[in-house]
């Protein structure tokens, strides 16, 4: 019998495994999803491998080595729809902190024989190398958004993923604004939603897991953070975590770093 189900492949570049784990963490939906697709390549879950081309490829991780720069081209060539998932794949991830450091020095700090290590000077998102059909943000991605993405792709419609800011989620959740009420530094106004306003609900400021919201006004936020008492070096660090190389965050952190010198 011919299997007409769409084939799904899950690939990993430089990353922590957390985004593909989010798929395995869909305990209630996993077997249903698995019934709707042919899992053609997902080494973390199965030894079985089907040849491409694949209908849907999910790519976790950033490009950090010459080998992965080649591999992402091969993945693109055998994937009808390619979706990058998570902060590493969409902005370069936390390992993009190398982009503002000296990678040669990094290599010698961690490894006794730096010559054994093949690495690129920058950690870059998938879209910087190949065309990407959709980007799912987050560190890690949100389970609900991941399921919405998969079901919409299987149904042949565009995924309904909000690009509102975390502030909107706090309002929906009824969380009192932390910067306003308690003077807590928060990236919520410039960060895309997806986490359901998680950190503010736990009493801590947003630290930017879902990356910059479209039209983010970083200059205004940086001014407000300075009013709350943050020094330029503090603002620099706040913007340089899991989405450090996202263009809006990178530009503002570079500006703040200049001011702190």
Partner 1 sequence: MTHRSKAGGRVLSVDALARVEGEGAMHVRIDGGAVTDVALRIVEPPRFFEAFLRGRAWTEPPDITARICGICPVAYQMSACAAIEDACGVSVPTEIAALRRLLYCGEWIESHALHIFFLHAPDFLGYDGAIEMARDHGDIVGRGLAIKRAGNALLTVLGGRSVHPINVRVGGFYRLPGSDELAGLRPMLLAARGAAIETVRLVAGFDFPDFTQPHEFLALRPAEGRYPLEAGSIVTSGGLAFDVSAFDTHVVEEHLERSNALHARLHGRGPYVVGPLARYSLCSDLLSPLAATAAAEAGLGVECRNPFRSIVVRAVELVEALDEAVRLIDSYAGAPAPYVEVPARAGTGYGATEAPRGLLYHRYSLDAEGRILDAKIVPPTSQNQASMEADLRAFVQARLDLDDDELTRQCEMAIRNYDPCISCATHFLDLTLERTAG
- Cβ 140 to partner 1 shortest distance, Å: 4
Nearer to partner 1, 164 or 201 (CB): 201
- Cβ 144 to partner 1 shortest distance, Å: 12
Which residue from 140, 124, 141, 143 is spatially nearest to 132, judged by alpha carbons? 124
Please name the residues in contact with 248: beta carbons below 8 A apart, sequence gap of 6 or more.
190, 212, 216, 218
Nearer to partner 1, 104 or 220 (CB): 104
Exactly one of 77, 109, 121, 172 binds partner 1 (CB under 8 A); which one? 109
- Cβ 28 to partner 1 shortest distance, Å: 7
Residue 187 in contact with residue 195, Cβ under 8 Å? no
| Whole-number Cα distances in Å, 152 to 22, 79, 147, 159 | 18, 17, 8, 5
The site map against partner 1 for 112-141 (x = CB under 8 A) is: xx--xx-x-------------------xx-
Six token digits for residue 15: 């990353």
Angle at 224 between CA 220 and CA 228, to 5 degrees: 165
Can residue 93 be called a binding residue for partner 1 (CB under 8 A)?
yes
Site for partner 1 in 41-60 (CB under 8 A): 42-49
Q: Look at residue 85 and give its three-state secondary structure.
A: strand
Site for partner 1 in 219-238 (CB under 8 A): 237
Can residue 3 be called a binding residue for partner 1 (CB under 8 A)?
no
Exactly one of 8, 9, 13, 136 binds partner 1 (CB under 8 A); which one? 13
What are the φ and ψ backbone dihedral angles of 31, each rounded to 5 degrees? -70, -30
Can residue 202 be called a binding residue for partner 1 (CB under 8 A)?
yes
CA–CA dist 80, 83 (Å, integer):
10
User: Given CA atoms 170, 138, 237, 127 in this order, what sign does their dihedral have?
Assistant: negative
Exactly one of 7, 64, 191, 193 binds partner 1 (CB under 8 A); which one? 64
Nearer to partner 1, 22 or 165 (CB): 22
Can residue 176 be called a binding residue for partner 1 (CB under 8 A)?
no
Please name the residues in contact with 97: beta carbons below 8 A apart, sequence gap of 6 or more.
240, 244
Q: Which residues bind partner 1 (CB under 8 A)?
A: 12-22, 24-25, 27-28, 30-31, 34, 39, 42-49, 64-65, 68, 93-95, 97-98, 101, 103, 105-107, 109-113, 116-117, 119, 139-140, 195, 198-199, 201-204, 207, 209, 237, 241-242
């Amino acid at each position: 019998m011919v299997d007409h189900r769409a084939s799904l492949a899950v690939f990993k570049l430089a990353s922590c495994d957390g985004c593909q784990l989010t798929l395995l963490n869909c305990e209630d939906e996993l077997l249903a999803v698995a019934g709707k697709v042919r899992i053609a390549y997902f080494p973390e879950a199965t030894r079985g491998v089907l040849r491409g081309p694949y209908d849907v490829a999910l790519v976790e991780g950033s490009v950090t080595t010459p080998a992965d720069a080649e591999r992402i081209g091969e993945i693109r060539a055998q994937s009808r729809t390619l979706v990058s998932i998570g902060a590493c794949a969409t902005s370069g991830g936390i390992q993009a902190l190398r982009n503002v450091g000296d990678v040669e020095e990094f290599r010698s700090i961690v490894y006794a024989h730096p010559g054994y290590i093949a690495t690129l000077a920058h950690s870059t998102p998938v879209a910087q190398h190949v065309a990407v059909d959709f980007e799912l943000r987050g560190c890690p991605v949100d389970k609900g958004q991941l399921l919405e993405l998969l079901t919409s792709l299987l149904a042949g419609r565009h995924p309904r993923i909000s690009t509102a800011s975390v502030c909107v989620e706090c309002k929906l959740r009824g969380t009192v604004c932390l910067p306003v009420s308690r003077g807590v530094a928060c990236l919520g106004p410039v960060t895309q939603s997806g986490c359901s306003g998680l950190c503010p609900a736990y009493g801590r400021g947003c630290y930017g897991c879902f990356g910059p919201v479209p039209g983010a006004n970083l200059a205004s936020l940086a001014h407000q953070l300075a009013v709350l008492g943050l020094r330029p070096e503090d603002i620099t660090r706040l913007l340089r975590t899991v989405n450090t190389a996202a263009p809006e965050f990178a530009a503002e952190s570079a500006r703040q770093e200049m001011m702190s010198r």
